[in-house]
Structure 1
Amino acid sequence: MDSMCYTAMVTPFLGDAVDEKGLSRLADFQIQNGIDGLLAVGTTGESPTLTWQEHHQVVQVYAQQAKGKCRCIAGAGSNNTKEALAATGHAVEAGVDGVLLVDPYYNGPSSMEIRKEYIAPVAAAFPDMTIIPYIIPGRTGAQLLPEDLALLAKSYPNVNVVKEATGNLDNMRRTRACCGPDFTILSGDDGLTDQMMTDPDIAAAGVISVVSNIAPKAMKDLVQLLADKKLDQARQLAEALKPLFGLVTVVTHEKTPYGEAVCRARNPLAIKTLMQLLGVPAGPCRAPLGKMSRAGLDVVIGITKTVQANSPEILAPLADYFNVDIDARLNDQRFQEGLYYTDY
């Protein structure tokens, strides 16, 4: 089974508009550094705050950039099956290689309903398109179970990949047991990729990565080393990358007039904040995502300084491609202005 390292691409904004030039530059940066594929408008791409017109715009740009160079997956999931069908139809027209269908959020269908009323209709309507269920109950409050995933794979040959972001290794092992050795499991969690690929009862083929937005070569190298069973080298690289995995969710404890409050800066806030700090096209997040706290930004800077000090080769491709001095950016207060709330 081929190894796969996809990047869950951010959506760059310029003011209140999608930054098409930024989209193209980000895609080219990924392609130049050997990534296997781009995921357009997933959670990292802020799909909940894009209009459908913007959604299609981003898919078209990333699909065009990827054509003949790497694969492209489009996020097409919804909590409305009609919308998922329409988004998949557009993605097919744009020339993508697959679509990602996140479990329906908020309305909370059962696993059986997800199978019968959501994945199956899309798979049946587009038999030549790879359909990738995306299982992340921590975000959606719903979950397609391994048993129903296996039934889908049995009935629809185009359902042969899953993005697994449950964080539950036993669930992943059950997926492998139900779906068989030829089914492709991709990690939806950068920090679990090593474990998922080396556990023989999971045997994941790779990752759809957030961290590869800033470190595509290192993440691609990690997946390839794991696939090639070069485990000592893989573990060394994973250890060097490990601080960056902490960017997916940054948790701080903030002081308020009523006592301490926990602040969870969830993806893609921290990764986009860092990209802005480093001078990479990203722009801010769209409301209701906003800015980090001062403490949260300090965590992001601390993580990046650690990686830069211990393993500067990880961010070197970014520095070279975007022609930025990472150390200067991390240490100059001017670049931090506007990236954090000045009060709680």
Structure 2
Amino acid sequence: MNSGCYTAMVTPFDGAAVDETGLTRLADFQIQIGITGLLAVGPTGESPTLAWQEHHRVVQIISQHAKGKCLCIAGAGSNNTKEALSATRHAAEAGVDAVLLVDPYYNGPSSLEIRKEYLAPVAAAFPDLSIIPYIIPGRTGAQLLPDDLALLFREHPNVNTVKEATGDLDNMRRTRQCCGPEFTIFSGDDGLVYEMISDPEIAATGVISVVSNIVPKAMSDLVRLLVDKEIDQAKRLVDALRPLFGLVTVKTVEKSPYGDVVCRARNPLALKTLMQVLGVPSGPCRPPLGKMSRSGLDVVVNIAKTVQSKNPEIFAPLAEFFDVDIDGRLNDERLLEGLYYPTY
């Protein structure tokens, strides 16, 4: 896959249905900025709560919209290889450039099983399609290891890219060591983009990003600066973006009738909540994701206020495209109504 910034797109909802108009607006925003590619219906797009008919429809819309403008990746992962094959077949027929296959979740296959019983069958069935393993053990409870990834690359040349979200820099270095210089490593963690691209023992060349849903230009610029080894400018930009990386997981301590409780609002809840505040198509998350606590919402708004105050250029493309007043919306208490649980 080409180096650059790929946006793991949210799926906007309008009531109970997918907001197809909002979806194309979000895609237009990314394409106008010059994003390298769009990921349709990855986990950030709430793939676990989409029916397969909805899933396929979103892939079809984004693939058609991206054609000739940017690359398109489709989420096709499952903890059922038969489903992954079916989703990949649909994505291929829709004309995508690649599919993303997250490690099988909950049933916990070994790395050997992930290679032989999951990724290899898909790669063999679709040799002309790029297959991107997505390794995120904190979410899946399973992990494809660098050794098995290298064997896949050797046996199936279309498995030539990985989305790496282990958070383990040594594991990433091992991936580079096993897979060699021709293999492509993408960061699956916005907060580690700087380290992963600038470390020559990892030599990542891009990111599949969450926060680029709202700041695609800044994230694209960051990747370009790092790949071009313009390190000083990259450091300044990553410092400006760093507060937004906290949107992936917002952790607060809440008061319950029985004492303090740690509450974690995990991706894409905080991101979609901020998008609603900013007036960008998103809608709520689907259950079992729901709303934030009020203190969690305050964290999200304060993150955005910090970025807007110190580096207003970060949100400027969003403000222009969607014709919104960032400062006005971030300071309008009325816009927060309905976005949080009033009590624990």
Q: CA deviation at 1:2?
A: 5.2
SS of corresponding position for 1:143? coil
Matched, 1:32 2:21: no
Q: How many aligned residue pairs are there?
A: 344
Matched, 1:255 2:255: yes
Matched, 1:287 2:287: yes
Aligned residue in 1 for 2:315: 315
Residue identity matched to 1:23: L
Residue identity matched to 1:219: M
**4+ residue segments displaced more than 6 Å:** none
| TM-score in terms of structure 1 length | 0.99
Q: Hey, what's the Cα distance between the residues in 2 that align with 1:338 and 1:33?
A: 31
Q: Hey, what's the Cα distance between the residues in 2 that align with 1:304 and 1:64?
A: 32
SS of corresponding position for 1:44? helix
Q: Hey, what's the Cα distance between the residues in 2 that align with 1:27 and 1:77?
A: 22
SS of corresponding position for 1:181? coil
Q: CA deviation at 1:34?
A: 1.1
Matched, 1:129 2:129: yes
- Deviation string 1:39-61 (CA, Å, 9 cap, x unpaired) is 01111000000000000011011
Once the two structures are superposed, the pairs formed by residues 45-194 of structure 1 within 5 Å of their partners are: 45-194=45-194
Aligned residue in 2 for 1:336: 336
Q: Hey, what's the Cα distance between the residues in 2 that align with 1:53 and 1:228?
A: 41
Residue identity matched to 1:231: I
Q: Hey, what's the Cα distance between the residues in 2 that align with 1:9 and 1:101?
A: 16
Aligned residue in 2 for 1:296: 296
Residue identity matched to 1:292: M
Q: CA deviation at 1:28?
A: 0.3
Q: CA deviation at 1:4?
A: 1.4
Q: Hey, what's the Cα distance between the residues in 1 that align with 2:253 and 2:2?
A: 42
Residue identity matched to 2:100: L
Q: Hey, what's the Cα distance between the residues in 1 that align with 2:8 and 2:18?
A: 17
Q: Hey, what's the Cα distance between the residues in 2 that align with 1:225 and 1:4?
A: 10
- Deviation string 1:69-112 (CA, Å, 9 cap, x unpaired) is 00000000000000000000000011100000000000000000
Once the two structures are superposed, the pairs formed by residues 161-240 of structure 1 within 5 Å of their partners are: 161-240=161-240
CA RMSD of aligned residues (A): 0.7
- Deviation string 1:197-256 (CA, Å, 9 cap, x unpaired) is 010100001100000000000000000000100000000000000000000000000001
SS of corresponding position for 1:300? helix
- Deviation string 1:102-152 (CA, Å, 9 cap, x unpaired) is 000000000000000000000000000000000000000000000000000
Residue identity matched to 1:194: Y
Structure 2 runs not aligned, ≥5 long: none
